[in-house]
Amino acid sequence: MDDVTQRKVVVVGGGAAGMLAAWAAAKAGAHVTLLEKMERLGTKILISGGGKCNLCHAGPMDDVRNKFRHNEANFLRNAFRVFTNDDYLKLLTDKGLEVYTRPDGRIFPEPPADAKDVVEVMEAIVREAGVNVVLGAKIHGVLVTNDKAIGVEMDDGSRIGADALIIAVGGSSYPLTGCTGDGWKWMASLGHTVVPLTAALAPLYLEESPNWAADWSGVSLRDCVLRARAVNAQGDKGKERMRWRGDMLFTHKGISGPVSLGVAREIAEAWPESSLAEVDLFPDMREDQLREEIDKWCLNYPRRSVGALLESVAPARLARPIARVAMLDMEVKGAYFIAKARQRLVVALKGWVLGKVRAVPLERGEVVAGGVALGEVDNRTMMSRKISELYLCGEILDIAGPVGGYNLQAAWSTGFVAGQAAAALPRTD
């Protein structure tokens, strides 16, 4: 710490990136004030992973990084090298919070611990590092003189000066968590490019369609593939935009669950071009293999009805809708289930078009895609290339990873880099 003096660092936003940044800056010797507009820290962390908090993803950091889009992965290279998933987990386990890894690589606190315990531990390490935490502190704007950040203006008009300012105010989804997109307005007014914002990791709202009904709400499909497709000139299935494999949940407005989150960003980005949602209930089988299975079933159960077959391959509430899509008579017995009808069933099970996507609600997304353009931020320090001593970390940046702990990892790692750099004397290169 030879080149570090007691710099006055102000961090705005007490979420994932802000807490990590404040802790890292204090550990690096700075005098740190953390300003959070809500009456508690980490409100969004509390609802993460359905309250369980998917902390990060297991595996080598290059693998974690490569789950992001190419330009985001490049930007994150340094931060993911400097502060890894293991580094973050060590912070928690050193404070006695045990974690476990699911077979799919997602890491959570070991139950009964959950997101509340994560926030508690984070708050404890921040306070123990000597950070001055101010809650209920809504920041109105950033103070800049001669292209250098010098502090912030509070909502009541008072000002707080800083040698270095870290902005970690997150995105604009779930605004009740305190995230109302304030940072993007500030950055745009300072001359930063804000890449257009779209929903990512969000549910899909579907248009009214004979192939989907609001009263299926609550029905889930295990391990299916959801494909987002363009609509062709005939209003029919066009080219595939994105696919995601996992579980799917019907809601009263459309669909949700991992597969919906997985395709949401591509659908939102294609807007105003329409997208169709199409589901494959048998992703491990080719059409001919599924056809063979249905043929076998008909041989084995000649007296059972097609309705019984459908209930054996899909949730009972979906048997009738699938029969309608495939134009099948549910009462027909296996022995009389003709070849053409069997083929229509195969086609329906492998590519059931639920309908057009009406909306991908940005405010319901786990993360917002778009944000401060990455080319305008130095990824070695997270400092703005336009305003010196202004550091940006977390979701305010144009980064949106997939579901699986990737977004919190991006917040932890970029927060750490910003904190360390803000506490150090300015670079001269």
Q: CB of 183: closest distance to ligand FAD in angstroms?
A: 7
Residue 138 exposure: Cα atoms within 13 Å on the Cβ side: 11
Tally of residues, the chain: 429
Span from 169-177, 240-248, 295-303, 329-337 in contact with ligand FAD (CB under 6 A): 169-177
Which of 10, 13, 249, 291 is in the footprint of ligand FAD by CB under 6 A? 13
CB closest to ligand FAD, residue no: 15
Which residues 6+ apart lie within 8 Å of 373 measured at CB? 192, 193, 194, 195, 398
Backbone angles phi, psi at 149, to 5 degrees: -70, 135
User: How far is the C-alpha of 164 from the C-alpha of 116, rounded, in Å?
Assistant: 30
* Contact status: 366 vs ligand FAD (CB under 6 A): yes
Q: CB of 180: closest distance to ligand FAD in angstroms?
A: 6
Span from 287-295, 309-317, 333-341, 399-407 in contact with ligand FAD (CB under 6 A): 399-407
User: How far is the C-alpha of 397 from the C-alpha of 184, rounded, in Å?
Assistant: 9
The binding track of 181-220 with respect to ligand FAD, each residue x by CB under 6 A or -, is -x--------------------------------------
Return the DSSP state at 110: P
Q: Which is nearer to ligand FAD, 278 or 395 (CB)?
A: 395
Which of 225, 228, 367, 382 is in the footprint of ligand FAD by CB under 6 A? 367
Which of 10, 144, 170, 280 is in the footprint of ligand FAD by CB under 6 A? 170
Task: Return the closest-CA partner of residue 291 out of 341, 359, 219, 252.
Answer: 341
User: How far is the C-alpha of 89 from the C-alpha of 66, rounded, in Å?
Assistant: 20
User: How far is the C-alpha of 199 from the C-alpha of 183, rounded, in Å?
Assistant: 17
Which of 24, 25, 36, 374 is in the footprint of ligand FAD by CB under 6 A? 36
For residue 196, whether the previous peptide bond is cis, meaning omega lies within 30 degrees of 0, is: no
The binding track of 102-141 with respect to ligand FAD, each residue x by CB under 6 A or -, is -----------------------------------xxx--
Lookup result for tokens 């319901």 = 364
Which residues 6+ apart lie within 8 Å of 418 measured at CB? 17, 21, 24, 166, 168, 381, 382, 383, 391, 392, 393
* Contact status: 173 vs ligand FAD (CB under 6 A): yes
Q: CB of 205: closest distance to ligand FAD in angstroms?
A: 17
Which of 89, 119, 168, 319 is in the footprint of ligand FAD by CB under 6 A? 168
**Could you say which residues in the range 243-302 bind ligand FAD, by CB under 6 A?**
none
User: How far is the C-alpha of 191 from the C-alpha of 187, rounded, in Å?
Assistant: 7
Contact residues toward ligand FAD (CB under 6 A) are 12-18, 35-38, 43-45, 47-49, 53-54, 137-139, 168-170, 173-174, 177-179, 182, 366-367, 394-395, 405-408, 411
